[in-house]
Amino acid sequence: MVVARRRLLKDPLIGIEYQRGGQRELALVEGPEDMRLFEYSILVTNLDNELVSLMRHYRDRADCENNFDEAKNQWGWCGFVTQQLQTSQIMARIVALIYNWWNLFVRLAIPDKHHEAITSRPLLLSSVGRLTESGRQRHMVITSTQGETLTIQRAYARVLFLVESNCDSVDP
């Protein structure tokens, strides 16, 4: 059994009792300056690896489980209300296909890190696009209702660049 402790950089907004001047006080927003808050993890294993390897194994395992949790809870892959096996298989395949395509799109748009659907869908799906054609030119205007317009502009510009660079080599 391994008990790991990590200091929290930001103090959470929780109520913590502490003593000042002999009287107990409850700090709801900020605590005393000398207070240190830690996050504890308890790992139970029978592996003989060193501590750094054990922590890496458990972190990687949690990353894998996050994908299953996301598919199940945020994409509706937790079950279907039908007794017919064929209908359930079709719906499961459709959800898996859309989940894979969305992850690829978001990874192309924002390649820095993995964004879960609960944050990426409101960010990237809250826009309205209008395509106008004049002569042989197409012009697309995307209007976003999201507050992070700079992030969205960069994401769509990156996807547009990747699409245009791949389409130039293909004859219509």
Look-up of token digits 């001047």 = 21
pLDDT of residue 170: 45
Residue 120: count of CB within 10 angstroms of its CB: 20
Least confident of 30-39, 61-70, 115-124: 30-39
pLDDT of residue 15: 52
Sorted by where each begins, the domain ranges of the chain are: 45-167
pLDDT grade, residue 12 (50/70/90)? low
Would you say residue 40 has pLDDT above 70? yes
Quote the CA–CA distance of 76 and 67 in Å, as a whole number. 13
Task: Give the model confidence (pLDDT) of 51-76 as tens digits.
Answer: 888 888 877 777 677 777 788 778 87
Where is pLDDT greater, at 158 or 69? Answer: 158
153-167 mean pLDDT: 82
Q: Which amino acid is at 169?
A: S
| Cα pseudo-dihedral 158, 164, 166, 169, rounded to 10 | -160
pLDDT of residue 171: 46
Quote the CA–CA distance of 59 and 161 in Å, as a whole number. 34
Task: Report percent pLDDT > 90 for the chain.
Answer: 1
Would you say residue 172 has pLDDT above 50? no
